[in-house]
């Protein structure tokens, strides 16, 4: 379904790097606009915490983003306690999806994929939620497995890996789960997934389990150790820490926790994806910022321009997960990715469009 029916307008547009204006504002280019409309693609990722959309056009090196949208919807609010999506969270999410549907319609998207992840996978009332979304917005969500989520994240982040380093470890700390992928890289840009794991902990689930009070030092350390214990069997199975000791592994982190810490480290007055994406964080800096945030109040965290009210209550749980990863796999630094599932979908859609056009010319 590539032309969902809009119901509500408005909303907050994402600050999209490389936004295109040609074909929308230029006069006298009707034929060019028609050609481009037939090649417009879209990807939507509905997670436990965020609803994010990208609209793009295929290009020689992948795709060019022309529009986007991102909103914190907290779909997984209360899910840890009740096992169901609550009405207020559903309403917030449907409103955000309606904005996405309007954008998809206005850009006349030819191909799209709309996916939902951990909150939808776990919710007992998910079927009713999906039916409501389809009825009110026209968007038909595809609930993907944790393995497919990891695969798409890898596809989206692969350009940030150094092919000269033989192994890679990529992690995605989400709202309801944390996905980790262990892979072998080849000098020609190829990759082989050697293993993956999905931990049943994310920034929303850990925060709700802990409750509204700030973490004490003991509670924070206990959470780090709990997550590290979940990682230990995966490390033992694949010998990741051993290879890190030989300098043969690079690490890459994606999603809100690691991008937030990068924004804090860089001292950004306003979050800037173009600066954060592809930057590096040392483990010493991760430890310093994590301790600072875990010892700060909600108001102090919310006052930081890279955190704000939307993440102030979640970032400490995210720091605990991140610290557990760093302790388990002491690579010394990691690369930050502000990309993931959506970019993986867009690359796949762009490749399919290219293959289709080539077949049509044959």
Rounded distance, CA 75 to CA 95, Å?
Answer: 12
Q: Where are the alpha helices (DSSP H) in the chain?
A: 30-37, 79-82, 87-106, 118-122, 126-137, 146-157, 203-210, 217-238, 240-245, 256-266, 273-276, 283-294, 298-302, 308-311, 315-328, 341-361
Question: Domain containing 77 — which CATH number?
Answer: 3.30.420.40
Residues 217 and 270 in one domain: yes
Q: Considering the domain boundaries, does residue 128 fall inside one?
A: yes
Q: Where in the sequence is the domain holding 36, given as residue range(s)?
A: 1-144
Residues 111 and 189 in one domain: no
Q: What pLDDT score does 272 carry?
A: 86
Residues 207 and 311 in one domain: yes
pTM of the model: 0.78
Q: Considering the domain boundaries, does residue 358 fall inside one?
A: no
Place of tokens 């982190």: 253
Q: What pLDDT score does 21 carry?
A: 25
Quote the distance between the C-alpha of residue 348 and its chain's center.
16
Inter-residue contact 153 to 340 (CB < 8 Å): yes
> Are β-strands 280-282 and 333-337 bridged in parallel, bridged antiparallel, or unpaired?
antiparallel
Q: Considering the domain boundaries, does residue 351 fall inside one?
A: no
Contacts of residue 293, defined as CB under 8 A and 6 or more positions apart, other chains included, come to 264, 301, 307, 315, 316, 319
Q: Considering the domain boundaries, does residue 360 fall inside one?
A: no
Residues 191 and 289 in one domain: yes
Q: How is residue 188 annotated by DSSP?
A: T
Residues 125 and 196 in one domain: no
Residues 100 and 189 in one domain: no
Q: What pLDDT score does 149 carry?
A: 87
Rounded distance, CA 334 to CA 170, Å?
Answer: 9
Count: domains in the chain: 2
Q: Considering the domain boundaries, does residue 336 fall inside one?
A: yes
What order of strands is seen across the sheet that includes strand 41-46? Answer: 62-72, 50-59, 41-46, 111-116, 142-143
Residues 207 and 337 in one domain: yes
Question: Domain containing 259 — which CATH number?
Answer: 3.30.420.150
Rounded distance, CA 166 to CA 249, Å?
Answer: 7
Residues 267 and 323 in one domain: yes
What order of strands is seen across the sheet that includes strand 191-199? Answer: 191-199, 178-185, 167-173, 249-254, 333-337, 280-282
- Per-residue pLDDT tens listing for the chain (362 residues): 444 433 323 333 443 433 222 222 223 333 344 444 458 999 999 998 899 999 999 988 789 999 999 998 989 888 888 999 999 999 999 999 999 999 999 999 999 999 999 889 989 999 999 999 999 999 999 999 988 988 898 889 988 999 889 999 999 898 888 989 999 998 777 788 999 998 988 888 888 887 767 888 888 899 999 999 999 999 999 999 999 988 899 999 998 889 999 999 999 888 888 899 999 999 999 999 999 999 998 899 998 888 888 788 889 999 999 999 999 999 999 999 999 899 999 999 998 887 545 444 44
Inter-residue contact 293 to 301 (CB < 8 Å): yes
Q: Considering the domain boundaries, does residue 241 fall inside one?
A: yes
Residues 69 and 198 in one domain: no
> Are β-strands 249-254 and 167-173 bridged in parallel, bridged antiparallel, or unpaired?
parallel
Rounded distance, CA 112 to CA 237, Å?
Answer: 37
Inter-residue contact 119 to 20 (CB < 8 Å): no
Concatenating the DSSP letter of every residue in 79-140 gives: HHHHSS--HHHHHHHHHHHHHHHHHHHHTT-SEEEEEE-HHHHH-TTHHHHHHHHHHHH---
Name the domain boundary from 144, 171, 203. 144
Rounded distance, CA 34 to CA 268, Å?
Answer: 40
Q: Indicate the burial class of 324 (C-beta count within 10 angstroms; 0-12, 13-18, 19 or more).
A: buried
Residues 130 and 54 in one domain: yes
> Are β-strands 178-185 and 167-173 bridged in parallel, bridged antiparallel, or unpaired?
antiparallel
Q: Report phi then psi at 169, rounded to 5.
A: -130, 120
Q: What pLDDT score does 108 carry?
A: 94
Inter-residue contact 226 to 302 (CB < 8 Å): no
Concatenating the DSSP letter of every residue in 324-340 gives: HHHHHS--SEEEEES--
Residues 91 and 232 in one domain: no
179-193 exposure pattern, b = at least 16 Cβ within 10 A, e = fewer = bbbbbebeeeeebee
Residues 91 and 111 in one domain: yes
Q: What pLDDT score does 51 carry?
A: 95
Q: What pLDDT score does 161 carry?
A: 92
Greatest C-alpha distance within the chain: 66
Name the domain boundary from 144, 161, 182. 144
Name the domain boundary from 89, 116, 144. 144
Q: Considering the domain boundaries, does residue 174 fall inside one?
A: yes
Q: Considering the domain boundaries, does residue 198 fall inside one?
A: yes
């Amino acid at each position: 379904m590539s032309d969902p029916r809009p119901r509500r307008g408005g909303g907050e547009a994402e600050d999209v790097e490389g936004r295109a204006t040609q074909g929308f504002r230029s006069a006298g280019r009707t034929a060019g606009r028609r050609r481009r409309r037939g090649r417009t693609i879209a990807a939507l990722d509905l997670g436990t915490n965020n609803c994010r959309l990208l609209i793009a056009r295929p290009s020689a090196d992948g795709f060019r983003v022309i529009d986007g949208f991102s909103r914190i919807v907290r779909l997984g609010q209360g899910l840890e306690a009740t096992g169901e999506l609550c009405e207020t969270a559903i309403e917030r999410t449907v409103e955000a999806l309606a904005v996405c549907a309007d954008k998809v319609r206005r850009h006349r998207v030819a191909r799209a994929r709309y996916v939902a992840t951990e909150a939808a996978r776990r919710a007992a009332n998910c079927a009713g939620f999906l039916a409501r979304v389809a009825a009110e917005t026209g968007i038909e969500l595809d609930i993907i497995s944790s393995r497919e989520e990891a695969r798409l994240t890898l596809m989206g982040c692969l350009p940030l890996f150094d092919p000269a380093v033989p192994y890679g470890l990529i992690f995605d700390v989400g709202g309801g789960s944390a996905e980790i992928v262990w892979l072998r890289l080849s000098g020609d840009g190829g990759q082989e997934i050697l293993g993956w794991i999905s931990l049943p902990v994310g920034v929303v689930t850990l925060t709700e389990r802990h409750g509204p009070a700030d973490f004490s030092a003991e509670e924070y350390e206990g959470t780090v150790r709990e997550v590290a214990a979940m990682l230990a069997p995966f490390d033992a199975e694949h010998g990741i820490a051993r290879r890190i000791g030989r300098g043969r592994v690079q690490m890459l982190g994606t999603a809100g926790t690691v991008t937030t810490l990068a924004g804090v480290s860089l001292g950004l007055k306003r979050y800037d994806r173009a600066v954060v994406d592809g930057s590096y964080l040392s483990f010493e800096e991760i430890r310093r910022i994590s301790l600072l945030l875990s010892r700060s109040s909600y108001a102090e965290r919310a006052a930081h321009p890279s955190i704000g009210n939307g993440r102030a209550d979640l970032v400490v749980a995210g720091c605990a997960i991140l610290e557990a990863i760093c302790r388990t796999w002491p690579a010394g630094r990691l690369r930050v990715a502000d990309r993931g599932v959506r970019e993986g979908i867009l690359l796949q859609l762009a490749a399919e469009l290219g293959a289709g056009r080539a077949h049509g010319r044959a």
